[in-house]
Amino acid sequence: MTNHWVDIKNADVVLVMGGNPAEAHPCGFKWVVEAKAHNKAKLVVVDPRFTRTAAVADLYAQLRPGTDIAFLGGVIRHLLEKDAIQKAYVLAYTNASFLVSDGFEFQDGVFSGYDEAGRKYDRGTWTYQKGPDGFVKSDPTLQDPRCVYQLMKAHYARYTPRMVAETTGVPEDLFAKVCDAIASTAAPDRTMTSLYALGWTQHSVGSQNIRAMAMIQLLLGNMGMAGGGVNALRGHSNIQGLTDLGLLSDLLPGYLTLPKENEAEYAKYVETRTLKPLRPGQMSYWQNYAKFHVSLMKAFYGKAATKENDWAYDWLPKLDKVYDILTVFHLMSQGKVNGYVCQGFNPLASIPHKAKLVEGLSKLKFLVTIDPLVTETSNFWQNHGDLNPVEPSKIMTEVFRLPSSCFAEEDGSLVNSGRTLQWHWKAAEPPGEAKNDPEIVAGLFTRIRALYAKEGGTVPEPILNLTWDYRIPTRPAGEELAREFNGKALADLPDPKDRTKTLAKEGEQLATFAHLQDDGTTSCGNWLFCGAFTQAGNMMARRDTSDPSGLGVYPGWGFSWPANRRVLYNRASCDPSGKPWDPRRKLVWWTGAKWAGNDVPDMRPDAKPEEGVGPFIMNPEGVGRLFGADKMADGPFPEHYEPFESPIANPFHAKVGPNPAARIYAPDRDMLGAPGEFPYAATTYRVTEHFHFWTKHARIPSVLQPESFVELDEVLAQKKGIRSGDRIVVRSKRGKIVAKAVVTKRIRPLRVGGKEVHTVGIPIHWGFEGLTRPGYITNSLTPFVGDANTQTPEFKAFLVDVEKAPAGVA
Amino acid sequence: MALMSLDVTRRSASTSAAPSVRSGAIPDVAKLIDVSRCIGCKACQAACMEWNDLRDEVGTNLGTLQNPQDLTDRSWTVMRFYEQEVGDRGLQWLIVKDGCLHCEDPGCLRACPAPGAIVQYANGIVDFQQDRCIGCGYCQTGCPFDVPRFSARDQKAYKCTLCSDRVAVGLEPACVKTCPTQALSFGSKADMRDLADERVRELRERGLGQAAIYDPAGVKGTHVVYVLPHGDPGLYRLPAKPEVSPLVAFWRGGVAKTLGVLTMVGVVVAGIFHYMKVGPMEVDEHEEGRRP
């Protein structure tokens, strides 16, 4: 979230699209209810299904799965046509006036630079025009045909209400009502919050769904405002912490990136990432990359990381490609993976195309699962009849199950969607032989290190030199790990403003990432978490419930990264002169001498407003990007592409159906279904009674939602002779499931692409383990296709056929 | 539930008042269910099971998201889901938390023939005392809301206690404690009525002109009060004018009692007259002999 949970209460309009917080985030949803009750906020829900969120909405629109960009593109067009934008904000805080290189264009569904064979773009033309001073050229009148504003206007001119209706199925009059609600927040004293979750990310255009909303929020002047922002509601407890700590194959902690294969030299690696300002006077905060990186390497390798060995750069893996989950399981299915360690993860249930996963897991030599519960993955080799029709005798994979503890059985921190780190305390001992995850990993590590020490091996240095100075090496304590990711001074750090003072003495915990150094005198496991465990103690354990501003900031509760800042880009909540746009929502302001306020200002404290330092300090431009330049793999402007399996041709450009830069492996292309055989648009989701594949192991949630079901509309049900409660078979090109039918008015047939399209909704929670009725794994159906930028699989839009199950089918 | 810390004002099948009612100190309590804030998350169902240590069966899906399908002896509250077209507002998904309404004039208590099996406390809560329940089922007949459920295991009736054990020590019911959106509130009846008035006013300002409070007079008001955003109780499958069945009133009321007593007296008198006129019944020997 750019903002945070409590802040939702400050919104005037709450737009829920790509998420279903009443069901997936019921506790956080209280703030939506607060906004409605105390701020008279309007709740607008756009979703393929009338959800429990829609049940309390003021306005609901049903759209076809996978058509969010068509909808949002239509909103952008509406805002630009009606001039319902916050002009002063757009001029000062976005790249609307920047001039774009002449080579950039969009034609026939693709952007310039497309390489069809490689399914990727050469992004060389997706750049700005630069002046002789090296800075980007701009036209503050917004008249230049090559300025971002004009290009954007031309790009979205095609997204007329009629095209929106034709593509998404949302009738023009209803679409106009949604647009009006959104446009009402262009006023400086009105804000809209956007709440989304996996309903946006899990598409082959997932990242662009979110970018489209970011553009809308910039046009409306809602970024940086209390009650505004683009807010990702994370799907698991602490999944925010997972990404913050870099547990993705191409990341290091704090969103630093692993080097690629062709980045053999450290100097080059750092230079590429030390982004120089594109406009005069901008902060371009990634200029500090080396400070974060060197401090991380000192945390990893301590004294073994020196200036001479480039801070142990050679010991970092260099990626030949991104090893995302689809790639790993694709390689596994080809027999190219020997072993797989699966920690807190149930891929057999969670990843698309179950049959392909079973094939891959069956080719492993060994599989290790670390989990508090028995997972389908760890029992993939067991025959469970139709639910898991494998032959155990033919599977040679050796499976090790290491039982781990649950969150309440250990001390530690969780990072919530609002970037707040909160400490929690152990409430119970883990049962049986279960150990907590650090203990399991430390056990593995110390044994592997002993083997390297004894036997040598190829490149033993990264293992042998790793800092491992925990009091009990086989049991690192949560507090020790927290101190490590906060970071400490390795020497006395003199204060550059007054050399007689120090920022921190040798051995002291650091107070802020602003004190990190690139000369090896600081160590820090994650620069974003610096400040969470300072010399003053564990900031994550703070529980101060005072809220002086009344804006729900709660500055003394836990610790929010970065720098305990609750609303990102909050400098943008003020006009260029430093005065809050809205006196009711004063987050920060310029006092005449410095930046101060109710939140920690997202700005250099002494940056005078007349210096023109932009609020988007991580961007070299200093402003928000309406034109994404070369940052996205699939285009600087979000464009509507159909899901890889779609019931209709792309109404915008029939020849370019799905995202031309999205990930699909050749064998998986053959596993895509066509609308002739699989006519219905399907989507998958969670329901409120369950959390993923965990709570089916607990009795009460199993009572509350005991058996797998599929939702379908009344017209389709009647056509197929299906009544509520019947068992039905749902098939895709990749597999089938059998479940109970829930025939509902809450999904309606849509008129799109000149025909009637039915939507079939499939919850995910059941499997062959647990206390619920045994069920088929929903991801038997979903396609093995990934988003162009994140490779997140397209769980949310694919094709199926449904029929009543023949008598006797279980 | 234990009676020791509670002040009982009424007991089933008893005419004498309970001995220990503190007067004046105990306000009427009420739970407010604001349907407009309810997201159907079933946290209240889970909390009810947790606090009261109830574990219903893992059932099946019968074509609805509602589960368990109905109130049972181990599910004292269930969320009911209704897909309903409501005038020009179109399709609405109405989610109603069902359970005991704790009537001020409880039909179950009036119908119950087992002394002390159903009690009403001074704070208004109506509670079943299973150790005195005789399993006759009259409470079901007496309830205008179809709430009490029988246990096949011990042949006794069960229903929501409004967490009388928690309330007795100053806590709110478990469902209220857990509700994430403040769809549930708990307090004195007067405060809950005020809150309900406020919520209805807000809803009307938002364009829900029919919004209304459900606190039916037919049972002299309830200690579980609803805010219904669309007003009409029928949309929510709540009885528009609930009242204790006249048969129950008749059966347990003064008229029936008097009639019963008169009938019994009549039978005795008739017997005496019959004896005086006919004399004692005698068995003749012929019949005696035919006995096997």
| Predicted confidence (pLDDT) per residue in A761-778, tens digit | 999 999 999 999 999 999
Mapped onto helix, strand or coil, the DSSP state of residue A386 is helix
pLDDT value of position B256: 64
Q: Which residue of A has its CA nearest to B95?
A: A55
B65 and A705 in contact by Cβ < 8 A? yes
Residue numbers in B near A741 (CB within 8 A): 63
Asked if A559 contacts A531 with a C-beta cutoff of 8 angstroms, the reply is yes
Comparing CB atoms, the residue among A26, A708, A744 nearest residue B43 is A26
Minimal CA separation from B45 to chain A, in Å: 8
Residue A122 has pLDDT above 60, yes or no: yes
The token pair that represents A44 in the structure block: 């607008």
pLDDT for residue B18:
61
Tokens in use for A36? 């409605």
Query: What is the pLDDT at residue B14?
Result: 82
Instruction: Name the average pLDDT for chain A.
Output: 97
A50 touches chain B (CB under 8 A): yes
CB atoms within 10 A of CB A154: 12
Distance (Å) of CA A184 to CA A133, A518, A692, B132, B207: 40, 47, 37, 63, 18
CB contacts < 8 A (A, B): 116
Distances (CA, A) of A583 to A190, A549, A588, A603, B24: 11, 12, 11, 20, 49
pLDDT at B1: 43
Residue A500 has φ and ψ, to the nearest 5°, of -80, -15
What's the pLDDT at B4? 45
- Asked if B61's CB is within 8 angstroms of A706's CB, the reply is yes
Tokens of A42: 């309007």
- C-alpha distances (whole Å) from A327 to each of A323, A334, A673, A791 are 6, 11, 21, 9
Over range A788-810, report the average pLDDT.
93
Residues contacting residue A170 through CB under 8 Å, at least 6 positions apart: A46, A61, A62, A63, A71, A164, A178
- In whole angstroms, give the CA distance from residue A487 to residue A529: 9
pTM given for the model: 0.95
Summarize the confidence of residues A574-597 as an average pLDDT: 97
Cα–Cα distance between A124 and A130 in angstroms, integer?
Answer: 14
| Residue of B181, B202, B203, B227 best to disrupt the A interface, most CBs of A under 10 A | B181
Q: Which residues pair with B152 in a beta bridge?
A: none
Mean pLDDT for the stretch of residues A747-751: 98
Q: What CA–CA distance (Å, rounded) separates A385 from A382?
A: 9
Predicted confidence (pLDDT) per residue in A360-383, tens digit: 999 999 999 999 999 999 999 999
What phi and psi values does residue B184 have, to the nearest 5 degrees? -110, 135
A704, A744, A771: residue with CB nearest B83: A744
Tell me the residues of B at the A interface, defined by beta carbons under 8 Å apart.
Answer: 36-43, 45-46, 49-50, 55-65, 67-68, 75, 83, 85, 91-95, 180-182, 202, 205-206
Q: Which pLDDT tens digit goes with each residue over A402-413?
A: 999 999 999 999
Q: Count how many residues are written for chain A.
A: 810
Give the mean model confidence (pLDDT) for residues B20-30: 74
Residue in chain A closest to B42 (alpha carbons) equals A689
Q: Nearest CA of chain B to the CA of A560: how many Å?
A: 23
Amino acid at A28: G
How many whole angstroms separate alpha carbon A566 and alpha carbon A6? Answer: 10
The mean of the pLDDT values for chain B is 90
CB neighbourhood size of A301 (10 A): 20
Task: Measure A47 CA to nearest chain B CA, in Å.
Answer: 15
pLDDT at A724: 97
Instruction: Of A490, A472, A483, A577, give the one whose Cα is nearest residue A530.
Output: A483
Do residues A34 and A43 make contact, with C-beta atoms less than 8 angstroms apart?
Answer: no
DSSP designation for A180: H
ipTM of the complex in this document? 0.95
Q: Helix, strand, or coil here: B77?
A: coil
Four-CA torsion A437, A438, A443, A445, nearest 10 degrees: 120
Quick one: three-class SS letters along B138-177?
Answer: HHHHHCCCCCCEECCCCCCEECCCCCHHHHHCCCCCHHHH
Q: Which of B50, B67, B206 has its CB closest to that of A706? A: B67
| d(C-alpha A279, C-alpha A283), whole Å | 9
Could you report the per-residue pLDDT of A487-512, keeping only the tens digit for each? 999 999 999 999 899 999 999 999 99
pLDDT at residue A447 in the model: 97
**And the tokens for A219?**
């046009």
3-state secondary structure of B96: strand
Peptide bond between residue B242 and the one before it cis (omega within 30 degrees of 0)? no
Residue with tokens 């309440």: A408
Report whether pLDDT(B221) > 90.
Answer: yes
Q: What's the mean pLDDT in A696-714?
A: 98
Span A538-552, pLDDT tens digits: 999 999 999 999 999
Is B63 close to A40, i.e. CB distance below 8 A?
Answer: no
C-alpha triplet B143, B148, B151: angle, nearest 5°: 150
How near does any CA of chain B get to the CA of A703, in Å?
A: 4
- Give the pLDDT of residue A539: 98
Distance from CA of A735 to the nearest CA of B (A): 22
Give the HSE-up count for residue B136: Cα atoms under 13 Å, Cβ half-sphere.
16
Q: Which of B184, B195, B203 is nearest to A37 (CA)?
A: B203
CA distance B16 to chain A (A): 42
Chain B residue numbers with beta carbons less than 8 Å from the beta carbon of A703 are 49, 55-59, 67-68, 75
Can you give the pLDDT at residue B2?
45
Question: How sure is the predictor about A807, in pLDDT bands with cuts at 50, 70 and 90?
Answer: confident
Instruction: Tell which residue, A119, A137, A139, has the closest CA to residue A127.
Output: A137
Q: What is the pLDDT of residues A250-278, one digit of tens each?
A: 999 999 999 999 999 999 999 999 999 99
> What pLDDT shows up at residue B265?
83
Could you give the CA distance from residue A178 to residue A774 in angstroms, rounded to a whole number?
41
* E-only strand ranges, A410-569: 412-415, 420-424, 488-489, 493-495, 498-504, 522-523, 533-534, 537-538, 559-560
Residues of B in contact with A54 (CB under 8 A): 93
Residues A463-494 as b/e (b if ≥16 CB within 10 A, e otherwise) read bebebeeeeeeeebbbbebbbbbbbbbbeebe
Residues in chain A with CB shorter than 8 Å from the CB of B180 are 26-27, 29-30
pLDDT 10s digits, B108-163:
999 999 999 999 999 999 999 999 999 999 999 999 999 999 999 999 999 999 99
Instruction: Give residue A103's pLDDT.
Output: 97
Q: Reduce the DSSP state of residue A391 to 3 states and report it.
A: coil
Q: At what angle do helices A206-219 and A68-81 cross, to 10 degrees?
A: 20
Task: Give the number of other Cβ atoms within 10 Å of residue B135's Cβ.
Answer: 15
Residue B220 — very low, low, confident or very high, per pLDDT cuts 50/70/90? very high
CA atoms within 13 A on the CB side of A27: 6
Distance CA A9, CA A35 (A): 4
pLDDT digits (tens, 9 = 90+) for B250-281: 766 666 667 777 788 888 888 888 788 877 76
Q: Are strands A420-424 and A412-415 parallel, antiparallel or unpaired?
A: antiparallel
Among the partner residues A688, A700, A745, nearest to B49 by beta-carbon distance:
A700
Half-sphere exposure in the Cβ direction for B101 (13 Å, CA): 27
Residue B245's pLDDT is what? 80
What pairing do the DSSP bridges indicate for beta strands A709-713 and A735-744? parallel
Q: Does A151 touch chain B (CB under 8 A)?
A: no
Compute the residue count for chain B. 292
Which pLDDT score is estimated for B257?
65
For residue A196, which of A212, A184, A180 has the smallest C-alpha distance? A212
- Taking the CA atoms of chain B, what radius of gyration do you get in angstroms? 24
**Which residue pairs, CB below 8 angstroms and at least 24 apart, start in B269-274?**
none
Query: Hey, is the C-beta of A707 within 8 angstroms of any chain B C-beta?
Result: yes
pLDDT reported for residue B19: 60
State the Cα–Cα distance between residues A372 and A433, nearest whole angstrom: 11
Q: How confident is the model at residue A14 (pLDDT cuts 50, 70, 90)?
A: very high
Looking at the complex, does the CB of residue A701 fall below 8 Å from at least one CB of chain B? yes
**pLDDT exceeds 90 at position A235:** no
Start-to-end CA span in chain A (Å):
43
A33 in reach of chain B (CB within 8 A): yes
